[in-house]
Amino acid sequence: MDIMEVEHKKSQANPSAASRTGDKGRKMRREIIIILMLATLLNIFFCLGCDKKGKEENEGLNQAQKQESEQYEVLDSALFPVVLNSKWGYIDKKGKIVIEPQFRYAYRFYEGLACVMIGRKFGYIDKSGEVVIEPQFAKKSKFSEGLAVICNENKTKYGYIDKTGQIVIDLKFNSAQNFSQDLALVEISELVGIAGKGRRKKSRFGYIDKAGEYAINAKFEAGAGFSEGLAFVVIDGKVGYIDKSGQFVIEPQFDPPRTFAMVISPATSFFEGLAAVNIGDKWAYIDKTGHIVIEPKFDRPGPFHEGLARVVIDQKRGYIDKNGDYVIEPKFLSVTSFSEGLAFAYQDDEKWYCIDKTGDVVFKIKSGIPKRFSDGLACVIGTKKRIGYINRKGKFVWKLQK
């Protein structure tokens, strides 16, 4: 029974309260849907390259918290974007320049191609630095399963190109995500209501195949890409999980995320067999049958990665295993997920530390804000738009510079 049905029955039992109760229910439901819509419209498919804007070190905690929404994607990590004299190029894992700094901005390689900004437009280069798709796009993206998202100048319509730069799916969606397991989440919207009397946009989300045809009709209030064969969706104000045929494997029964950060979090998708779900005001973990395997007790969850998940309780971060037991007690202000056996943790002394899976400190970050390790290096963001890269010993192979 959805929210509106509940309110209708209450109104029949107490007609004098009908208007107040109905308005309250509709308002609550609209707030949930708006949060979910806004998050989906965000550029969830952003590249995991270093933050081009940079942040001052005294904003370290804010930047650290943003890392908790990072996506878990397979990076093509042979080359790393760097900036030198305000121009972007690429280095190898030893810190040697492979593609000379020449671009306005540059992002990570995915499937052999990297998005770069030349002038005011985005295009794509190969690993030799040659432009293979001319700069012509209004928004950065990345290739996933052979296709990349593009949009019009106003960023109101979205479609897809292939690796030759040809449009293979027309720009006809109001938002679109990258392909994952052969399907992509897209949004269609329309204005509803009487003109001049509170017209509003009504959005629905569905999944398309690589021909641009709906594999699963647009009927959801929100959704996420497929992960491990299942996708998080919201319908009638409840969260459930569907398979690639669009059938519910886990019936809609959980509360939708009520914070912006959790809507865009990968924690609600399945990773390593588990997904986080909201029950009341706490978070639990379920398996692919929908069975609760870790009881609701966390204020905020993270996805499992390398056997551990970062969690928040009483504003402190730590790590749990798949039994829900603490492997590293909650004591940090912010943490990253583990990658290549290491993670970064932000302490009360406003310093970042690299830790192993026992919680022991491997080394301290002397300056800057680190991201997760990838192919042996971790990007570090410093002040004044400077970036660098450190190796597993904490030594800079590319010193902080801009």
Q: Using 50, 70 and 90 to split pLDDT, how confident is the model at 76? A: low
Burial class of residue 199 (count of CB atoms within 10 Å of its CB; 0-12, 13-18, 19+): exposed
pLDDT digits (tens, 9 = 90+) for 111-125: 999 999 999 999 999
pLDDT digits (tens, 9 = 90+) for 250-305: 999 999 987 756 666 789 999 999 999 999 889 999 999 999 999 999 999 999 99
pLDDT digits (tens, 9 = 90+) for 190-220: 877 676 666 777 899 999 999 999 999 999 9
Using a pLDDT cut of 70, give the percent of the chain over it: 78
CA trace torsion 329, 333, 337, 338 (10° rounding): -60
CA distance 266 to 284: 14
CB environment 238-274: b (16+ within 10 A), e (fewer): bbbbbebebeeebebebbbbeeeebbbbbbbbbbeeb
Whether pLDDT at 84 is above 60: yes
pLDDT digits (tens, 9 = 90+) for 324-346: 999 999 999 999 999 999 999 99
What per-residue confidence (pLDDT) applies to 237? 93
What per-residue confidence (pLDDT) applies to 196? 63
CA distances from 312 to 6, 217, 299, 332 (A): 33, 36, 5, 9
Whether 161 is covered by a domain: the verdict is no
CA distance 90 to 113: 13
Among candidates 217, 240, 42, which has minimal Cα distance to 231? Answer: 240
What per-residue confidence (pLDDT) applies to 3? 31
Among candidates 212, 207, 208, which has minimal Cα distance to 233? Answer: 207
Q: Using 50, 70 and 90 to split pLDDT, how confident is the model at 375? A: very high
Q: pTM of the prediction?
A: 0.81
What per-residue confidence (pLDDT) applies to 35? 45
Chain centre distance of CA 189: 22
Burial class of residue 209 (count of CB atoms within 10 Å of its CB; 0-12, 13-18, 19+): middle
CA distance 247 to 217: 11
Please say whether the beta carbons of 165 and 135 come within 8 A.
Answer: no
CA distance 66 to 54: 13
- Domain hosting 28: range is 1-41
3-state class percentages of the chain: helix first, strand second, coil last, to nearest 5: 15, 45, 40
Mean pLDDT across the chain = 84
Whether pLDDT at 23 is above 90: no
Whether 374 is covered by a domain: the verdict is no
Using a pLDDT cut of 90, give the percent of the chain over it: 71
Calculate mean pLDDT across residues 221-228.
95
Whether 5 is covered by a domain: the verdict is yes
Whether 20 is covered by a domain: the verdict is yes
Whether 10 is covered by a domain: the verdict is yes
Whether 4 is covered by a domain: the verdict is yes
What per-residue confidence (pLDDT) applies to 383? 87
Please say whether the beta carbons of 390 and 397 come within 8 A.
Answer: yes
What per-residue confidence (pLDDT) applies to 24? 43
Calculate mean pLDDT across residues 48-52.
38
Whether pLDDT at 39 is above 60: no
What per-residue confidence (pLDDT) applies to 263? 63
Structural domain count, the chain: 1
Lowest mean pLDDT among 37-51, 136-150, 214-228, 259-273: 37-51
Whether pLDDT at 22 is above 80: no
What per-residue confidence (pLDDT) applies to 65? 41
Whether pLDDT at 67 is above 70: no
Whether 300 is covered by a domain: the verdict is no
Calculate mean pLDDT across residues 315-322.
97
Give the sign of the dihedral formed by CA 373, CA 377, CA 379, CA 383. positive
Whether 298 is covered by a domain: the verdict is no
Q: Which residues does 168 contact at the CB level (< 8 Å), separation at least 6?
A: 147, 160, 161, 162, 210, 212
Whether pLDDT at 44 is above 60: no
CA distance 79 to 24: 53
Calculate mean pLDDT across residues 161-187.
97
pLDDT digits (tens, 9 = 90+) for 378-398: 999 998 889 999 999 999 999
Whether pLDDT at 36 is above 50: no
